[in-house]
Amino acid sequence: MLLAFAFAAQGKPDFSGVWQLNVEKSTFRGQAPKEILVKIDDRDPNLTQTMLIVGADGREQQQTFTYTTDGRESAIKTPLGEGQSRAHWNGSELVIDSVLKTPNRTFHFSDHWSLSSDGRTLQMAHPDDDLAGQVSILERAPAGAAARFKPQ
């Protein structure tokens, strides 16, 4: 019985929900955004992440990324450029490795997602990539926050 509990405790977390950035608890490499909302639909191995970013200047931008968490490559497209991502599990941590090609440079990102034991806090950290040291701390968003996302 203890073995079954230990195995279940190490299972893959479900990141589904709407998350709100806690700017004060987060660390950014550049200028901090005014606000970030993230809506995640996690149906392992398929994961969809929609981000609503409000810049320091108040301008809103919404982007959606779709991954498979089995290591297969996914195409990504942003206003800055295009590239590829691969998402895979490292224990209970989801790692999303991406290459983004822009007109001036190629960026490498390794985003490490982890969920707190109570399921209320999502950490997205960049330990060793072009955003090394950036850590976003997101908390479950209040009811109704999902209404801010534009239909797709």
> Which tokens hold the place of 88?
């895979």
Residue 135 lies in a domain: yes
> Which tokens hold the place of 93?
């941590």
Residue 94 lies in a domain: yes
Domain span including residue 49: 2-142
Residue 150 lies in a domain: no
Beta strand spans in the chain (E)? 17-21, 35-43, 46-54, 60-68, 70-77, 82-90, 93-101, 106-115, 121-125, 135-140
Q: Can you give the C-alpha Rg of the chain in angstroms?
A: 16
Q: In whole numbers, what is the pLDDT of the chain averaged over residues?
A: 92
Model confidence at 7, in pLDDT bands (50, 70, 90)?
Answer: very low
User: Cβ contacts of residue 1 below 8 Å, gap of 6+?
Assistant: none
Model confidence at 11, in pLDDT bands (50, 70, 90)?
Answer: confident
Residue 148 lies in a domain: no
Q: Model confidence over 88-103: pLDDT tens digits?
A: 999 999 999 999 999 9
CA torsion sign for 92, 74, 133, 116 is negative
Residue 137 lies in a domain: yes
What pLDDT score was predicted for residue 10?
Answer: 60
Residue 22 lies in a domain: yes
CB 38 within 8 A of CB 138: yes
Q: Model confidence over 34-75: pLDDT tens digits?
A: 999 999 999 999 999 999 999 999 999 999 999 999 999 999
Residue 67 lies in a domain: yes
Residue 151 lies in a domain: no
Instruction: Output the pTM of the full model.
Output: 0.90
CATH code (residue 84): 2.40.128.20
If one counts the domains in the chain, the total is 1
